[in-house]
Amino acid sequence: MTEIIDIAEVIKRRIGIRVVAAIKENTLRGIDKDGKPFAPYSEKPFAAPAGSLTQKVRARLDKDGKLTFFEKGDTKWVRVEGGYKLVKSIKRPSDGGVVNLTDTGKLLRGLRFLSIDNEGAIRIGWDDPELALLAYYHNVSGAGKGRVVRKFLGIPDAELQAIAEEEINKARESISVSPELLSRINLQLRV
């Protein structure tokens, strides 16, 4: 019995997996789907429930005089001078101020190759609907009070083209077909 492998599907799957890796790599470097840097994090003061900031972040902001506590109903709130940019620099100092959409890291960790649809398009995304919604906010409707859009879901056309060409060439190089197998394939095509 001859097993028929759809080489186009194999190539598309490999391209999809590599595109996901490229999106993650670009995003961690602060680069959007068009190859440009993301819009910077806000430096505008903001208010939030005190519990939304970690103890480490609250302590550092308070020590630096960048935090004001106040009551709103029964809830303790904070006003942060310096905006989210300052909060992020305290939470993740190793990022060096790069806007990389990695507050918790879940968004990028959850991104994966999903499937090849009926039209042959490569589908990437998230299994977790909450992460898909978070991606929608960042990529389409805008995140935060200022509704800043940071289009990370995709890669520059030249990068996609290079990945596709590499995978197609790898497939060409790795396929060796014996004349006997070739005649069986041709026979199958004629039937």
On the question of pLDDT at 184 being above 50, the answer is no
- What is the torsion angle, in degrees rounded to the nearest 10, for the CA atoms of residue 151, residue 156, residue 159 and residue 164? 90
Query: Structure pTM?
Result: 0.81
Query: What mean pLDDT do residues 107-121 have?
Result: 92
Q: pLDDT averaged over the chain? A: 87
On the question of pLDDT at 1 being above 70, the answer is no
Query: What mean pLDDT do residues 110-123 have?
Result: 91
99: exposed, middle or buried (C-beta count within 10 Å: 0-12, 13-18, 19+)?
buried
Phi, psi at residue 83, to the nearest 5°? 70, -170
The secondary structure of 68-100 as a DSSP string is EEEEETTEEEEEETTHHHHHHHHH-GGGTT---
Q: Which residue has the tokens 């590499």?
A: 166
pLDDT, position 77: 95
On the question of pLDDT at 160 being above 60, the answer is yes
For 26-68, the pLDDT digits (tens) are 999 999 999 999 999 999 999 999 999 999 999 999 999 999 9
Share of the chain above pLDDT 70, in %: 88
Higher pLDDT, 186 or 93: 93
On the question of pLDDT at 2 being above 90, the answer is no
Query: What mean pLDDT do residues 95-109 have?
Result: 92
pLDDT, position 5: 63
On the question of pLDDT at 116 being above 60, the answer is yes
pLDDT, position 176: 62
Query: What mean pLDDT do residues 170-190 have?
Result: 52
Closest to 5 (Cα-Cα) out of 185, 190, 186 = 185
Distance of CA 162 to the CA centre of its chain: 19
Phi, psi at residue 79, to the nearest 5°? -110, 125
The answer to whether 105 and 60 are in contact (CB under 8 A) is: no
Q: Residue 111: CA atoms inside 13 Å, Cβ hemisphere, count?
A: 23
